[in-house]
Structures are given as C-alpha cells and as structure tokens.
C-alpha cells in the first residue's frame, strides 16, 4: 500500500480571493436586501399567497439567523400594497343586552370619526336636553299636568266635603290625616259636647263618620292610580321634550351614516335609550354646603353624569386603519392568549371589579384582520391556550373574545360576551423544521390550517455569484446600520468565515445574524484604529475577540491537560492507547478536545465490552459503533472461526455521557494495537466512524477537532511528528485557522486523510497493514498478520482451556 502523504495547505482552507471582487469597498456596490438561501422559500411564499383566497396559511421554516422574519416582512409588504386597506372595527353598547356588546364594521378611518361624532352627540345632548327642560314651554306644559292633577284631587275632597255637610259633618285636616267631625251651628263640636249628645244622635254621627270614611278610603285607593297617571303624563312630556332636543342631532348622524345599515340601526336604538334614560343628561341639583360636606366621600365614588353618558353611548374603536395603505401586516412578538384574540379589562369600583363594552381590547388577530399576521411558532406553542385559541379562530373564521375559562367551559361567573368578529387573515408561522414536522404528525388540525410550507436553506453553494450576492447583502447591512463600508478584503474574510460556519468549504452559511454581529464589532475596532473602511484585520480581530470572550471553558480544559490532570500524551508511542477527538458545544460556541481511549484484552467469548455503555454513560449511537467494530474484527480476521477474546474499551477520565459513532474508528485502532502489540504514535489523534467493511466515514466538527488537538501540541511544543487523521470524505469540510495552516506549511503539524482502517493503522504504527492473500492470510510482519495470529492464538487457547476443564469422560 502506497504511503499516505499529509494534506497540502490548499486542502485545509478554501480561501476567497479578494481580487476576484470587482469593487474596492462595499460603498461601490448597490446594496441588496436579498436573503441567502431564500429561493425555495420564495417559491413557496408566492404559491401560498396566490392561493390565499382558498384560505391557505403558511409555515416558514429554517434555522434562526437566516433572515426569515426580514424576508417575510419584505415579501408581505410587496404583496400587501396592492390590496385594499382593512376595515375599522368597533364595539358599542347593546341596549337590549348590555352583556353582549355589538360589533360594527366601518370603512378605514371611519371608526375614529364615528367615535368623535358620538362624543359630540353626548356633549350636545348634555347642553340641549337641560335647556329644553328649563324652557318656558316645558314648565307650562308640566305645570298644566300638575295643576290638573291638583284640581282632580281638590274636586275629590270637595265632593267629600259636600257629602259631609249634607250629613251635618265636616271634613277636617289633622296631624294624622283627614277626619270627620259633627257640626252644630257651623262649629265643630268638642269631644265633651259630643259625649253629652243623646245616644241615638251619637249613633247616627258614628254611622255618618263610617260612611264618609268608606268614601274617603275609596277615593284614597284610587290616588296611586292618579299618581301613576300623573307620572306617565310627565314621562311622556319628558320624552317628547327629549325627542325634540336630540332628534335633529341623531337625524343628522343617521343621514351621515345612511350607507352603513348597522350604524343606522344602532343610532335608532340609541335614540330610544336616550329618551328612556334622559336623567343621564340632566345635571343633579346642587346641594347645600353642609350636605355636600356630609356626602363628600360618596361624591368621590359617584360617576359624573357626563362620564356615565359617554360610557353608555360611546364607541370603543378596537381597530383603526385610518391613514393606512394596503392590507395590514402585523408581527406580534408576545402571542399570549389575551394579546392574540383580545381581552376584556376590568375596573375596581367600590371594592368590586366591573367591566363594560368600553373596556374591550383587541388582539393581534383584530389588528391583522384583512391582512397578514406573522407569529413565531415556538412562542405561540409555549404560551398557555394561545395555540388552541389561534386554531379555534382560524377554524371558525371569527374572533371570539373570551377568557380561557370561558372557552374551556370551566368558568361560571357572569362576564361580557362580545359579538364575534368575522376573520379574514392569512397567518404566517415562522419556526424551525422540527416544529413543523412535529405539528404535522402530532396535531391533526395543523395540515388543514397550514397547507403550505416555505423552507429556507441553511447553506448554499459557494460560487462567484454567491460571493457577489453575499457582498451586496453586507453592503446593504452596512448602509442600513450606518456602518463603515467594508473593504473587499473584509468581505473575502467574512465569506471564508461563513463557509466555516456552514462546516463545509464548498458551501456558505445562510445564517447571517452571527456574521452581522462580527461586522458590527469589526466596525468598532476599525473606528478605534482610525480606519475609514473595515478591512480584513478588523474582521479577524472581531472574530478573535468573540472567541476569546467565550473560551474560558476550553482554556480550562487545555490548562488541565497541560498540567497532566487530564492525561493526554502528544509524544512517544503506546500499545492499546490512542488520542480520540470530540467536540463540545456550549451555546453557540463549539470547540474540540482530545480524549484518551484505551483497549485491553484477554481470552474470552468474543465480546468487546463497551465500558461507557455498561455504566450507562454511552448513548445508543456509541454502542452501535462498538458493535460495528466488533463485527469488522470477526469478519475481517476470523471469518470461519469463533472470536475468542474479551476486550474492554474505555474513554479515560470521561465523567459525562458519550454518544455518537465518530470515535468508532479510533476505538478500533486501539483494539488492533492491543491485538498486534504494535504501539500507536501518541503524537497523532484520530476521528472518524467506521463501517463493517473497514471504510472510514465522515464525522462532524472536523475543524474544531483538529484545532483542539493542535492547540495542545502547540502549547507543549510542535515536534513535526504530530497531526490528526480525518476521513477522506471530510477534506471538503476543512476551513482551518491560519496558525494551523502555517504550522502545516512549516512541516510542524500534519493533517492526514484516510479512507480505510488499513491506511489509518499504517500511519499510527508505522508498520504496513498488509493486504489479504488468496488463502485468507496476510503477509508476515504486517499489522493484519499480527492481529490474525493473535486471534487464532486466543482461539486455540480457549479450545485447550475448554478441553482441560471438561476432564476425561466417565
């Protein structure tokens, strides 16, 4: 097998050439707000919005930081400008049932105008009605009614008086009421004189008194009826006067809103209610000073008549689209249930919470009605009742303002039930792909409500055209945020950093947010250095500063390795010991760290013991890798004999969970070293998974793993014999740091790409692996021959041990 050569520096970093750009700085570019990776999303958005008449809502999925919200906003703005503005919506009092306020739909901008008209009506009525009630005409007509009542009452008393006189009696007023007394010679006789009368005459007087009293009682029984008649006449007069005072005011409004039937209907009912509750417009009589002092506390809590009238006859505008053009676009960042579907607020009065139609508040669905509502899917799903409330509104095509208790049916208190408002909105949910797939499979309503998905690519091909679009995007960002222009060298460096973020030298990451943060920080460093433009050095300083601020944990691990607290060898060679590589992720920061992996073996039943799994620290993918390498050893070396070893593989000084199969090739190398007795160079570290055929497969985090081991070697001193083995399929992913590439150029460090286990074991041991011969054996002295010989030796010893333990037959 031909020796494996280290990768050349050009394979370790695919650099963007600044001279390939035709501009000097981004100031020379026309900035473009295009979003990288939007092609498929744009196609789906166009389809979804064109199909919006069929009620299609959209789910825009993609990783955070790719500009999803910005793209959706710009796309919707372009579509919404050609649509008519949405209607105004307001709530008014339902005079038939105040617990069920009425909803009125008005033309854009007419809601506030209607509210002002109603406020003016109340103000005018507060002036016109008292004036009408203070007029001479009203006083004369009321006086006529009252005088007629008095005349009727006087006539009744006069009739009784005449009847009493005919009987020799007189009707007299006493402190306790009306009484009858006998009269002699025009004078009422005293009680003493009455007692001196003959018995027959006294009996006759008593009969007269009894008869007159009965007549009086009959007259008094009819008095309430006459009082009611009086009040009815006065009320009818008051209604006539009120109608005269406000009729023309309301007629003017009816004429102004005659094309809006619901408004005209409301004004008609309002007219009847004002006439019925005219007392709201008549100021309370002034009380004496001492009475005002006694009722000062009550006055604090008493609602002024004008405020009461405004609350009863006012207009609560919950959606005002006056002054807007095009359909509304609402981005709601706090989609709680009440802020999504609306709510009814309360006021404290006399120790109790009260409410009415004027305290109804609209939600995001009201604001977006007739247009588009954009929500973050994760936020909607994490807010109690919000997701169910949104689905209920979309299913019913109406917005029903009610508390979660009302909607769920477990609240028994009396509350407002505002009239539902028809809903015509297209909802755009923005979230990651996993949320979309979960909702598709777990929520049966989701596929019906959100039929179109628009997906953002998280990567795109790294081509000259993509580089140019990337530069235009940076130019637009610098211009919008008033930052310094970027020199083309800075653009090239950011392009390289984008490729590194994507984990692939042939791709660019569409996650612009992290790169935008770098540009902002580089702008600061450029200003500190007195630059007119942001150059590559400023970008690099920002990248280094960002990494340094979050490197405490990685530096602590490196420190412990250098102090030999964590045992990692970078020189010498050991049998059954190898340096594996792993990646740790803390938030947005990832870094590589080496781990010592050891393998020990003895005669056994062919089992490779995964210590991590036995103590429940190993995940299923790691256990799968161990099983694969066990299968490789059995089939590659002893296809027709039982595997007779018992091996144990362990990540030394591992105190947390281990998962993934990226160390399976490393574990196999350690096991082959233990079987062959050949030491492995400790200056080399390994990463890569393996399949049953001995092919080394790609893994993630190749850049971080190489740099993590390089940092340890550099800290201890580079010897030229140190390096890392990576799968061939990972070479296209390499975007290494400049100091690593420089060390490779100086032959102080090496990166090898291997395709098979045989290639890797040759590099690690310095001994030829050996190809399988026709008889199934390997050439003498090779690694594979040593492994095969050791396995057969273990098999012979196991058979011999089994035969001796059985003893002679009896």
Here the tokens at position 610 are 């995964």
CA 454 to CA 477: how far, in whole Å?
24
CB 622 within 8 A of CB 658: yes
CA 501 to CA 508: how far, in whole Å?
8
Going 114 to 116 to 118 to 124, the CA torsion angle's sign is negative
In angstroms, what CA-CA distances link 622 with 578, 600, 614, 662? Answer: 17, 18, 12, 8
Here the tokens at position 108 are 């854009």
CA 284 to CA 512: how far, in whole Å?
68
Question: Is 594 strand, coil or helix?
Answer: strand
Radius of gyration of the chain (CA): 47
- Following CA atoms 240, 246, 251, 252 in sequence, which dihedral angle do they give, to the nearest 10 degrees? 160
CA 357 to CA 96: how far, in whole Å?
13
* Count of CA atoms in the C-beta half-sphere (13 A) of 578: 33
Q: Tell me, letter by letter, the H, E, C secondary structure of 115-171.
A: HHHHHHHHHHHHHHHHHHHCCHHHHHHHHHHHHHHHHHHHHHHHHHHHHHHHCCEEE
CB 60 within 8 A of CB 41: yes
Here the tokens at position 71 are 């793209």
CA 74 to CA 425: how far, in whole Å?
18
CA 807 to CA 805: how far, in whole Å?
6
Strand-pairing partners, residue 580, are 595, 686
For 500, residues 6+ apart whose C-beta sits below 8 A from its C-beta are 703, 735
Among 779, 788, 781, 787, CA closest to 677: 787
E strand segments, 408-560: 421-422, 426-431, 452-455, 459-461, 507-509
CA 577 to CA 765: how far, in whole Å?
11
Going 254 to 256 to 262 to 263, the CA torsion angle's sign is negative
CA 357 to CA 92: how far, in whole Å?
6
Chain center to CA of 77: 21
Strand-pairing partners, residue 326, are none
DSSP per residue over 276-317, as a string?
HTGGGGSPPPPPPHHHHHHTHHHHHHSPPHHHHHHHHH--EE
Backbone phi, then psi, for 454, in 5-degree steps?
A: -115, 120
Among 709, 649, 651, 654, CA closest to 681: 709
Here the tokens at position 590 are 């990832």
Here the tokens at position 755 are 């395709």
Residue where the block lists tokens 């002699």: 184
Q: What angle do CA 15, 20, 24 make, to 5 degrees?
A: 110
For 150, residues 6+ apart whose C-beta sits below 8 A from its C-beta are none
Active site residues: 662, 705
Residue where the block lists tokens 């550099």: 714
CB 171 within 8 A of CB 160: yes
């Amino acid at each position: 097998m031909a020796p494996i050569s280290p990768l050349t520096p050009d394979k370790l970093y695919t650099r963007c050439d600044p001279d390939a750009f035709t501009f000097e700085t981004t100031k020379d570019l026309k900035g473009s707000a295009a979003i990288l990776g939007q092609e498929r999303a744009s196609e789906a958005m166009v389809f979804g919005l064109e199909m919006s008449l069929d009620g299609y809502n959209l789910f825009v999925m993609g990783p955070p930081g790719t500009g999803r919200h910005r793209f959706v906003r710009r796309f919707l703005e372009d579509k919404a400008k050609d649509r008519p503005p949405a209607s105004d919506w307001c709530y008014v009092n339902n005079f038939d049932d105040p617990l069920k306020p009425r909803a009125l739909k008005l033309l854009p901008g007419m809601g506030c105008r209607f509210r002002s008209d109603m406020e003016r009506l109340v103000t005018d009525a507060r002036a016109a009605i008292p004036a009408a009630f203070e007029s001479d005409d009203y006083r004369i007509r009321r006086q006529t009614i009252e005088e007629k009542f008095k005349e009727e009452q006087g006539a009744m008393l006069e009739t009784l008086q005449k009847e009493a006189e005919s009987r020799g009696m007189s009707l007299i007023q006493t402190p306790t009421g009306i009484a009858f007394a006998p009269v002699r010679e025009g004078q009422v006789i005293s009680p003493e004189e009455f007692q001196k009368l003959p018995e027959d005459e006294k009996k006759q007087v008593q009969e007269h008194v009894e008869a007159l009293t009965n007549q009086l009682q009959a007259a008094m029984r009819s008095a309430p009826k006459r009082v009611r008649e009086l009040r009815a006449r006065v009320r009818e007069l008051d209604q006539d006067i009120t109608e005269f005072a406000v009729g023309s005011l309301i007629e003017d409004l009816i004429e102004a809103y005659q094309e809006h039937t619901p408004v005209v209907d409301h004004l008609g009912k309002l007219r009847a209610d004002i006439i019925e509750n005219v007392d709201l417009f008549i100021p309370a009589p002034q009380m004496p000073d001492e009475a005002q002092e006694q009722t000062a506390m009550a006055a604090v809590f008493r609602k002024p008549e004008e405020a009461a009238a405004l609350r009863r006859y006012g207009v609560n505008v919950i959606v005002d689209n006056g002054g807007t053009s095009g359909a509304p676009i609402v981005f709601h960042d706090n989609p709680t249930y009440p802020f999504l579907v609306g709510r009814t607020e309360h006021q404290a009065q006399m120790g109790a919470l009260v409410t009415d139609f004027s305290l109804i508040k609209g939600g995001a669905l009201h604001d977006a009605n007739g247009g588009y509502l954009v929500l973050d899917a994760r936020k909607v799903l994490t807010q109690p009742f919000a997701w169910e409330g949104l689905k209920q509104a979309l299913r019913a095509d109406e917005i029903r303002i009610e508390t979660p208790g009302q909607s769920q049916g477990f609240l028994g208190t009396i509350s407002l039930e505002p009239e539902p408002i028809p809903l015509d909105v297209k909802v755009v949910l923005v979230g990651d792909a996993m949320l979309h797939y979960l909702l598709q499979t777990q929520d049966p309503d989701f596929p019906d409500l959100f039929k179109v998905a628009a997906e953002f690519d998280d990567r795109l091909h790294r081509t000259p055209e993509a580089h140019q679009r990337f530069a235009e995007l940076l130019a637009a960002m610098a211009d919008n945020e008033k930052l310094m222009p970027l020199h083309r060298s800075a653009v090239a460096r950011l392009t390289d950093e984008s490729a590194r973020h994507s984990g692939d030298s042939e791709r660019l990451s569409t996650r612009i947010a992290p790169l935008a943060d770098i540009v902002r920080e580089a702008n600061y460093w450029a200003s500190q250095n007195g630059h007119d433009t942001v150059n590559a050095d400023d970008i690099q300083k920002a990248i280094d500063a960002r990494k340094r601020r979050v490197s405490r944990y990685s530096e602590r691990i490196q420190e412990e390795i250098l102090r030999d607290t964590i045992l990692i060898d970078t020189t010498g060679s050991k049998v059954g010991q190898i340096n594996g590589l792993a990646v740790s992720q803390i938030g947005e920061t990832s870094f590589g760290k080496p781990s010592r992996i050891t393998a020990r073996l003895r005669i056994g039943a062919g089992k490779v013991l995964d210590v991590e799994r036995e103590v429940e620290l190993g995940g299923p993918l790691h256990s799968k890798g161990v099983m694969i390498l066990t299968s490789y050893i059995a089939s590659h070396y002893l296809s027709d004999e039982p595997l007779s070893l018992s091996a144990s593989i362990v990540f030394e000084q591992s105190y947390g969970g281990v998962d993934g199969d990226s160390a399976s090739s490393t574990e196999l190398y350690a096991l082959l070293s233990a079987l062959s007795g050949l030491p492995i160079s400790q200056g080399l570290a390994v990463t890569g998974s393996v399949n049953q055929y001995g092919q080394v497969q790609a893994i993630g985090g190749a850049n971080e793993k190489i740099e993590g081991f390089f940092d340890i070697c550099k800290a201890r001193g580079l010897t030229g014999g140190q390096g890392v083995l990576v799968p061939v399929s990972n070479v296209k992913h390499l975007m290494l740091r400049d100091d690593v590439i420089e060390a490779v150029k100086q032959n102080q460090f090496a990166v090898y790409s291997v395709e098979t286990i045989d290639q890797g074991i040759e590099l690690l041991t310095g001994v030829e692996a050996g190809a399988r011969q026709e008889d199934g054996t390997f050439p003498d002295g090779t690694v594979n021959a040593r492994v095969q010989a050791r396995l057969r030796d273990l098999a012979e010893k196991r058979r011999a041990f089994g035969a001796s333990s059985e003893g002679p037959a009896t």
